A and B are shown apart, each in its own frame.
Chain A
Amino acid sequence: MDFSVVFNEAHLKFLWDGLLVTLEVAAAAIVLSFILGIILGTLRYTRLPVISHLATLYIEVIRNLPLLLIIFFGWFGLKEWGVELPITMSVILSMTVFTSALVAEIVRSGLNSVDRGQIEAARSQGFTYLQTLNYIIMPQALKRMIPPLVSQFVALIKDTALAVAITLPELTHNAQIIYNKYPVAAIPMLLFVALIYFVINYSLSLASRRLEKKLAG
């Protein structure tokens, strides 16, 4: 197998640019979907009359749609409605919309997993509902949310490659451009790109396992 096309300096630079876009989109979407997901999941958990139902509606609609479709809506759809976003922004928006719904479900089940006795103990001491959520339930729930959250964020990083469909210049897209020009390099190029994704995501999983152990200790 010939890797010379891959390790050509200009190509590596091009792949590097793609990787930076991937990381930029992923990092922004992770932060935003975490914040939005915590809010949505908590709102759904609280069973506040109207608000909790709105959160549920959002979560159920979004998590039952394909991400690719949401990426299309976020690009072609918004354009159609006269909203012109830079393509990076559009993908960050779509990935955030999609992932926040899944994060919200992780948050809700994390909150639900905290023993009812904890809530009763806190309420019996005179903590308000919000204080109970803040000091007692959320800290215990967050710890349990780490593994599913990390899987979700790993999925997000991988799925940025879907944005190839709207030609976001990310890692997979740039690899494609190169091997379209040099078809013999297709497999080496895909292997190389696969390795990059693997290293990033596997390091993330290892880091989360370490964090989990530290918090459990």
Chain B
Amino acid sequence: MILGPSGSGKSTLLRCINKLETISEGELVVDGFKVNDPKTNINLLRQEIGMVFQHFNLYPHKTVLENITLAPIKVRKMNPEEAKKIALEYLKKVGIPEKADAYPSQLSGGQQQRVAIARGLAMKPKIMLFDEPTSALDPEMIGEVLDVMRTLAKEGMTMVVVTHEMGFAREVADRIIFMDEGQIMETGTPEEFFNNPKEERTRQFLSRILKH
């Protein structure tokens, strides 16, 4: 999990992993792919990386089912029947199989984000990226999205999560990365990070957010 104040570069770091952000310098290797190398076929790598956005970014002109099956069919060249079967499986997993034929605009924010997670999973990715997945949600819907993510983590899915949900980070993370002003300030296990932070900057950050 990547934590840190707003503007500290958490999302930018996350978006470098699948090159949604242009990498100006340095080297980044993901699953054997040199992301910074212009010769790398980034589309091949992106098929292996699911991404969930703050504002869901579901395709509004497609049904929930089509949102999930589009990439498996067009990018992975999966047979449509097979793709549909997998999509329904994941819709069940995120708890809204009855919404398969709805359009995104007919769903609540929490439901949309769960569809977005199912859309990412349907590509059978090796890694899932989450960019502040609950920041645009009403408070009562945050729980349902975090529950899905918690289940994924338990099942062993590799996840990189940018979040402001400290309780969730503490409970679910294997490793915390704390960023400030574009730099990684501290990394560690949740216990080390929350109970025994090494850096002064980390202590300031924690004292400010854990007060309330």
Contact = CB atoms under 8 A, between A and B. Distances in A.
Interface of A: 115, 117-118, 120-128, 131, 135-136, 139-140, 143
Interface in B163-211: none
Interface in B1-52: 18, 20, 43-44, 46-47, 49-51
B57 interface: yes
Residue among B44, B49, B71 having the largest count of chain A Cβ atoms under 10 Å: B71
Contacts of B18: 124
B154 interface: no
Contacts of A135: 70, 74
A122 B120 CA distance: 11
A136 B44 contact: no
5 contacts: A121-B59, A124-B50, A125-B71, A125-B119, A126-B71
Contacts of A126: 43-44, 46-47, 71, 75, 123
A151 to B, nearest CB: 23
Given A120-B53, A124-B51, A128-B43, A136 B75 contact: no
Nearest to B122: A125
Residue among B44, B49, B70 having the largest count of chain A Cβ atoms under 10 Å: B70
Contacts of B60: 140
A125 B47 contact: yes
B75 A131 contact: yes
Interface residues of B, number: 23
A128 B71 CA distance: 11
Given A126-B75, A127-B75, A139 B123 contact: no
Given A117-B55, A143-B61, A124 B74 contact: no
Contacts of A136: 59
B75 A125 contact: yes
Contact of A118 (B20, B59, B119): B59
Residue among A118, A122, A126 having the largest count of chain B Cβ atoms under 10 Å: A126
A125 B120 CA distance: 8
A123 B59 contact: no
Instruction: Give the 4 A-B residue pairs with the shortest CB-CB distance, closest first.
Output: A121-B57, A126-B47, A125-B71, A117-B57
Given A135-B70, A136-B59, 15 more contacts: A115-B57, A117-B55, A118-B59, A121-B51, A121-B58, A124-B20, A125-B47, A125-B70, A125-B75, A126-B71, A126-B75, A126-B123, A127-B43, A135-B74, A143-B61
B86 to A, nearest CB: 14
Interface string B55-83: 10111110000000011001100000000
A117 B71 contact: no
